[in-house]
Structure 1
Amino acid sequence: MTEEEPMIRVLVADDEPMIRAGVRAVLATDPGIEVVAEAPDGHEAVERVRLHRPDVAVLDIRMPGTDGIEAAAEIRRAVPGTGVVMLTTFGEDDYILRALGGGAAGFLIKSGEPEELIAGVRAVADGAAYLSPKVAARVVAHLSATGAGALAGRRTAARERAGALTPRERDVLALLGAGLSNARIARRLHLVEGTVKAHVSSVLARLGVENRAAAAVVAHEAGLVPPPEPGGRR
């Protein structure tokens, strides 16, 4: 972290103390990230986000009482400046699909690599959407599990939707799907950030999706997402 980069303040919510401790320990390895609060359930998560106003809330997708999906929606209403990253396990695909429409911007597997947690928190703090590769693959497969040929059909449909975009909009969609913020997309494509913001708004409108996370799913379905750069960064 340089002097110009502010500390990323994070809240962690999970009903299992061991998971909270593990998430805190992983995030502590990044000197630019600080865990400022923890919560054992969704209700407490919302209250502590109101109090601490972190940059990112990392929420277990399933918690007793108020679950992560409900908490994410309330956080987005009450403290829109806080981005939400959802932690999920295998077998929770229906919850992921609900969370996609609930305002969450990041989706990570609890059993994933520690580097993915840090990358996801940083991406969401930077205003981007982040789907871990395993989550993206599962979402695409789950959406397509409606009959023979459904996966190929969805991929074909996604390619057609992406094909209706301008070449520059397709470039932006691909990098959006890779979890890049507007600023990083601008640097990658040698554009000014305001132009990228306009492209992103146009992409969302033309794809008929509500947020960057949903657009990222389309990018993955269409096969547009580029591989990570050497060193694990996209």
Structure 2
Amino acid sequence: MWEIPSRRRELSRYFTGTETQLTAETGEAPIDDTAAAVRRIVDALARTAPRGEHLPGVTTELSRIADLLEARTDPVQDRLTDIWEGDGVARHDPATGPENPIAPPLILRVAEEGWVEGVVELGLPYQGPPGNVHGGICAMLLDAALAVANHRAGTNGMTAQLNIRYQRPTPVCTPITVRAKQLRAEGRKRFTVGELVVDGRVTASAEGLFIARKDRVVKTE
């Protein structure tokens, strides 16, 4: 089992009370551009003809690129350390991380009345039922948004419970507003809500319970 570093930074280094963007900025490192190119490939592959004559040549070229990358990888333990001790915990997040090729990525910003909010459009790689986003992907977006809302409120926490209500299908290839807000904190517990909204209608909502680390709890009289 890999050892996770004991010293960990908060989810994002961007919110100090004055910044408006709460998730990692894109374009800060060469890997951001590489990840964006991979997203283009994945999206195009999901939309290409599955028996196209072009595929054997594409497969050969992609295999060559995979060989190139695999020859220059770091040990997993080193990458875990980089992610948890540096800003990678935000930059590599599977929902919001610009250096993670499976992330859309979702960018969340400060909104009114304690909310965090962002707009994202998901293509066919994220499809579940025909024409709609997979329910697990909806849950991932909500979990990420709730975590960022906790960060805005002052303290992160690990997800202890996440209740998702799917109210209607969330369509692919359509702008989706993702929003979340921390309702209250009780000791180490954080109670947070969020929702996905398309064309003014909520498609999925979440209620989350998060547990903050002991060293992040601020005692009050």
What TM-score do the two structures reach when normalised by structure 1? 0.27
Larger Rg: 2
What TM-score do the two structures reach when normalised by structure 2? 0.28
Which has a greater percent of strand? Answer: 2
